Amino acid sequence: MAEPVVRIPDAKVVLSTASVYPESTATAFEIAARLGYDGVEVMVWTDPVSQDIESLRRLSDYHQVPILAVHAPCLLITQRVWSTDPWVKLQRAQAAAEKLGASTVVVHPPFRWQRQYARDFVTGIWRMAHETDVRFAVENMYPWRYRDREMLAYAPDWDVTKEDYRHFTIDLSHTATSRADTMAMVDRMGDRLGHVHLADGKGSAKDEHLVPGRGNQPCAELLEQLARTGFDGHVVIEVNTRRAMSAAEREADLAEALAFTRLHLASAASGISRS
């Protein structure tokens, strides 16, 4: 029997609820269902719905959109969400993922001022990983810059490949901000790359999270490599739509991001060239 013209990669294309900010978590489910995303990643933040497992379950059931990942509340604005204790935050993220059927918890490395947490982070993440089937995928970050000054805000390091983690998340907006070699970082992650935050950037000091294809990151190259290597994790669209002038413009950006991702996953599988 002849091979099909296009093999559909196992990777699912997922919408981060952060991609609709300042709209609500509920809006993200509506858009994901309408555009045909394979699922959502819930960014746990100040929206009460994002913190409530039963509310999330109802949204998932109503829209028939599975929750495939949970992003633990690691941001500066979420320091008091789900406790001020970072380990409690991760425990609650794990419990939420298990109850909602999500396979992955995304976590940032600690801030440097979280000294005890940072000191125990690598061993603590391994310990939690041994206690569950949920993947703790630690995400690459970036140095903070102001004019000519650079501040190393994360510990043990913003470059998570310098430490021994079981699973990684690669974020292409963060590689742009850190001015790292994205594909070299992916190579260092190897088969421990379990999760992708797909966005673009131009190397600004600000974390841009552009729609894929609008910056200088190798978004297409990465997607094609993932397809060729049989990546079976999730590719999460995590873009900034805050400047959208209308709901229709926001939705158009998210439709474009979805189309870009599916095109380049499929083109590698079918041998179609990007040129």
The domain limits of the chain are 12-265
pLDDT value at residue 30: 98
pLDDT (mean) for 9-30:
94
pLDDT (mean) for 14-19:
98
Q: Model's pTM, two decimal places?
A: 0.93
pLDDT digits over 96-122, tens only? 999 999 999 999 999 999 999 999 999
Residue listed under structure tokens 């952060």: 18
Q: What is the mean pLDDT of the chain?
A: 93
pLDDT value at residue 273: 47
Residue 5, pLDDT > 60, answer: no
pLDDT digits over 53-80, tens only? 999 999 999 999 999 999 999 988 898 8
Number of C-beta neighbours around residue 219 at 10 A: 25
pLDDT digits over 77-87, tens only? 898 899 999 99
Query: Is 3.30.450.40 the CATH classification of the domain at 12-265?
Result: no
pLDDT band at 267 (very low <50, low <70, confident <90, very high): confident
pLDDT band at 270 (very low <50, low <70, confident <90, very high): low
pLDDT value at residue 11: 87
- Longest CA–CA span in the chain (Å) reads 61
pLDDT (mean) for 191-216:
95
Instruction: Tell me the CA distances in angstroms from 228 to 188, 266, 267, 268, one per residue in order.
Output: 17, 10, 10, 6
Residue 275, pLDDT > 50, answer: no
pLDDT band at 151 (very low <50, low <70, confident <90, very high): confident
Query: Under 8 Å CB-to-CB from 160, ≥6 apart: which residues?
Result: 109, 138, 139, 140, 141, 168
pLDDT > 70: percent of the chain: 94
Residue 205, pLDDT > 90, answer: no
pLDDT digits over 27-57, tens only? 999 999 999 999 999 999 999 999 999 999 9
Residue 2, pLDDT > 60, answer: no
Residue 250, pLDDT > 90, answer: yes
Q: Quick one: how far is CA 142 from the chain centroid?
A: 15
Instruction: Tell me the CA distances in angstroms from 186 to 99, 110, 253, one per residue in order.
Output: 30, 21, 26
pLDDT (mean) for 158-181:
97
pLDDT value at residue 268: 63
